[in-house]
Structure 1
């Protein structure tokens, strides 16, 4: 059967749907219109608020501008008043200046008139009187020059006699110092009572040049050994008395010889006390404390005193501080405050001249002894220390303080330029004749010729010789050759055995290095004493570093420091034996080495 469809119902249903959608659209339009009206109200409110805020800001801005203008006007008024006051002060100052200038000009004119009158009166004298006066001046100048030549000859003779005296005493001198008993010496022997006490005094200074050692052994008769040295200091000798025996070596230093002073002995024997003293640099404020100064501070003070006696020479002093630790040379002046010295190792080389030199070593220029001790005190805490059974603060390295003295001649070219400049200034100045009893320019007729002859010298010789110059210069000859010398002050590490020090672990390597370096030093002295063709300086960094002080014509002083008690008799005998071997060295005759420097 065919399907019947009612189209009217379909159309009616569609119309119903469309009407429903239309109603929804109209409702949505009403909602949007309502929201639009609300937004318009909000916009009107915001615009009103912005308008009010703008008006308030505008009022505030204008008020701020008015206040700023008032402040600016007030400041300008004050500044204008101050400017007016300054102008008034300047006017008054200018008036005072003008008055002073007028008075000065008037006084200058009067002075020039008086000078002209005096010059006329001087030239008005008879020619015979002027001639006699000039002749007397020339005679006095010749006499002065003769005295200067005689003084130079006497100085040279003094140097020769001093070096001859040092040569007779020996270029290698050995002094011995016996320290007094200290609290840590009072320790009894741990064995039976038949053994002698450890604190018994067995080493003593019986004269100025002899040390006696009483060798006490159980069941054996007492034996005494004598050791002779150039000088022996007992426990009663002061630091000043010790330094007085060292003092002549500093004169040899100024004469052009390298000098080395080293302290040798076991730990606790007084090496550091002898070299540095018992007081720190900052505590040296009184005469009693100054008496405790060791060889290093007293040598620095004496060195600068000798330099002051040579004002005509240009001398410079530089200080360097090194330590030899575990057979490595360390530059203490290059180390940081934490003691990190890994990058401060230095190498010792031998130059073509046969001298030892430390590469990249730090040198600090100094102008007095106080600066020297300041530098040394600042780096002493960086030195290697370790407690042992002998001493609670034992030094485990060799300390080397080097003072380098350099002498340079005056710059002749600069002196010539100064003289040429003085000549131009004189030519630009007034043409009046100035009379001087010491100058040949007193003769007006020879004024110009004398000036021309005075400044007609070459740059290498800016002044005429004293025999021809009417005004000889008090300065010495500028052709004096420069020289360079070194003063090495060495505080060696202790020379005791391992059993005495009681160290263990890593400290054993330190003791081994110390003993090997001191043994190498003994080998070098033995080779020099036997006059072997080869001296083993390079067996140790210590001997290689001190090659200039031990070999050649340098002057070496070994200060043996020994303990007086039975407890340390083995180490004391070893130190005294080392000193006896050092005394056997016969070195070549001294020759002054100028070590000419190339002055650019």
Structure 2
């Protein structure tokens, strides 16, 4: 029995076999026709010979009569020969008939065999189809089960993440996310004195996102076995995840901002690791008229601003107003990047940071600009960015040499009767909408520049004693890059900048260590950066640290340092984050 070849349709194989048998049958039938024709011809020849024999007999008799005994002997010999030929012809005819009969029987046997084979093949195909249908049903059931398990896994994962976030919030821990950027062209350059082999090793990728909560780092040294180190964070982004994915985990914090919580989002990492890209996006120019492709590249700061104003737009008109300040910490000095000279030109003015009676950090005379939409905010941030100090290094052509702190201060008008309880309910919102339109001076809306001296209230509250204010702050921090002096190749003034940057970041790590160890003294004043961020790092703000990691072997030391910083920050427990429910005194009170 001929077996169908693998990969071929069994039906087509048996159809081809049936055609071959039919072709053989036709050939046999044609052969029978030929033999029957030959048989008929032999009968004709036999009759002809018999006629010849009769005539020959007469001729023999005549010859015998004419020629005597000699002719009689000759005729007897001829007749004998003719009888022999006739006998042979009869034997041939009998053989032909036997052959034809055997051929017919053989054809019938083969036809029955082929028919049985075709039936068996059809039955086998039917069984295979039934088996295939069963397999398809099982596969469908397995897919359904897989989908159900996947959905349950995702739900449980979300529940676990929500419970974990609640635990972090109850403990007051710092949220730490980690983003690993892709390898970039400038990763191939490793300095002028480095050989080609070492430069090739430097460009190898050693930091990976093992999953969405784990960073895997392959640590290897010449002559030593490779060691894998893992670091756990609340969220890990691989090199393929977009700005949208990063902001999706940041957006919930902005809702907390309008619910009365201070929020701080801080980008930490070495130079060239993607901090400014994550916080601002590529080639930021403060313009909201982006194409779709450019909008997809926007960083946390422009996206957060748009989201804040979107959330505000859902609130009663006049119940919120927003102020913005932009400062940089450069060489351990604080500069106000929105300050203006007597001609109205923006330039950086040195400010100082102090600690208030309440134990909060404050920058006196800091410029606060009132903004009414995201476009105005981004325009001001762009002005400040133009004054930010940058300097090229061997690691990055546009390395930021200062820490950038952009602060949105949101003032919310609430009523004393509902203060700290249900001040966001619908009835309060309606009353707020009516009274706010009467009590908010128009000159506040027209003013675009204020200072911290009037931070208590740009709104006169004499008209209604029940109106109070709650101020919440969103601090967006793009830290300068931590780096090795030998790697960056800086000298002179740039070397001094690097020294101040590393000292301020070291001070930040010391502050986190002191809080994690619950020391009685936390050295906030060791650096202007930590003094400025005192309320966010050790205070009542929801703090998110976005670690930015370069994946190449070249930056292994700096990457491990950043991951170690994130691990220490994640261990900090500051107590439960508090909601802002205290009133801000107005002027003259």
TM-score (normalised: structure 2):
0.61
Q: Is the radius of gyration larger for structure 1 or structure 2?
A: 2
How far did residue 170 of structure 1 move? 5.2
How far did residue 598 of structure 1 move? 2.4
- Confirm or deny that 1:575 pairs with 2:562: yes
Q: Distance in 1 between matches of 2:494 and 2:229?
A: 34
How far did residue 168 of structure 1 move? 5.2
1:181 — aligned with what? 183
Q: Distance in 1 between matches of 2:547 and 2:187?
A: 19
Q: Distance in 2 between matches of 1:461 and 1:517?
A: 47
- Confirm or deny that 1:314 pairs with 2:339: no
Q: Report the count of equivalent residues.
A: 383
2:151 — aligned with what? none
Q: What are the residue-to-residue correspondences of 1:506-525 with 2, within 5 Å?
A: 506-525=493-512
**Does the C-alpha gap of structure 1 residues 285 and 552 become closer, same or farther in structure 2, counting only changes over 3 Å?**
closer
Q: Distance in 1 between matches of 2:237 and 2:556?
A: 18
How far did residue 198 of structure 1 move? 0.8
2:352 — aligned with what? 347
**Contact between 1:195 and 1:218, CA under 8 Å: does it hold in 2?**
no
- Confirm or deny that 1:233 pairs with 2:237: yes
SS of the residue 2:551 aligns to: coil
2:403 — aligned with what? 398
How far did residue 368 of structure 1 move? 0.8
- Confirm or deny that 1:250 pairs with 2:218: no
1:548 — aligned with what? 535
**Contact between 1:177 and 1:562, CA under 8 Å: does it hold in 2?**
yes
From 211, 222, 228, the equivalent of 1:224 is 228
Q: Distance in 2 between matches of 1:377 and 1:183?
A: 27
Q: What are the residue-to-residue correspondences of 1:167-206 with 2, within 5 Å?
A: 167=169, 171-187=173-189, 190-191=194-195, 193=197, 197-206=201-210
**Contact between 1:552 and 1:588, CA under 8 Å: does it hold in 2?**
no
1:48 — aligned with what? none
**Does the C-alpha gap of structure 1 residues 345 and 188 become closer, same or farther in structure 2, counting only changes over 3 Å?**
closer
Q: Distance in 2 between matches of 1:358 and 1:530?
A: 28
Q: Distance in 2 between matches of 1:572 and 1:580?
A: 12
Q: Distance in 1 between matches of 2:524 and 2:437?
A: 49
**Contact between 1:258 and 1:548, CA under 8 Å: does it hold in 2?**
no
2:301 — aligned with what? 296
**Contact between 2:173 and 2:571, CA under 8 Å: does it hold in 1?**
no
CA displacement, residues 51-72 of structure 1 (integer Å, 9 cap, x when unaligned):
xxxxxxxxxxxxxxxxxxxxxx
How far did residue 507 of structure 1 move? 1.6
SS of the residue 2:535 aligns to: helix
**Contact between 2:280 and 2:302, CA under 8 Å: does it hold in 1?**
yes
2:573 — aligned with what? 586
How far did residue 591 of structure 1 move? 2.2
**Does the C-alpha gap of structure 1 residues 339 and 408 become closer, same or farther in structure 2, counting only changes over 3 Å?**
closer
2:381 — aligned with what? 376
How far did residue 417 of structure 1 move? 13
How far did residue 536 of structure 1 move? 0.8
RMSD of aligned alpha carbons: 3.0
Q: Which runs of 5 or more residues in structure 2 are unaligned?
A: 1-161, 416-430, 439-460
2:361 — aligned with what? 356
SS of the residue 1:334 aligns to: coil
SS of the residue 2:387 aligns to: coil
Q: Distance in 1 between matches of 2:198 and 2:535?
A: 50
**Does the C-alpha gap of structure 1 residues 196 and 224 become closer, same or farther in structure 2, counting only changes over 3 Å?**
farther
**Does the C-alpha gap of structure 1 residues 163 and 192 become closer, same or farther in structure 2, counting only changes over 3 Å?**
closer
**Does the C-alpha gap of structure 1 residues 166 and 251 become closer, same or farther in structure 2, counting only changes over 3 Å?**
farther
How far did residue 194 of structure 1 move? 7.8
1:386 — aligned with what? 391
How far did residue 491 of structure 1 move? 0.4
How far did residue 510 of structure 1 move? 0.8
**Contact between 1:405 and 1:486, CA under 8 Å: does it hold in 2?**
yes
Q: Which runs of 5 or more residues in structure 1 are unaligned?
A: 1-159, 419-458, 463-477
**Does the C-alpha gap of structure 1 residues 277 and 195 become closer, same or farther in structure 2, counting only changes over 3 Å?**
closer
Q: Distance in 2 between matches of 1:559 and 1:406?
A: 26
TM-score (normalised: structure 1):
0.60
How far did residue 186 of structure 1 move? 2.0
**Contact between 2:213 and 2:234, CA under 8 Å: does it hold in 1?**
yes
- Confirm or deny that 1:213 pairs with 2:200: no
CA displacement, residues 186-222 of structure 1 (integer Å, 9 cap, x when unaligned):
2378248489611001111110000011012111111
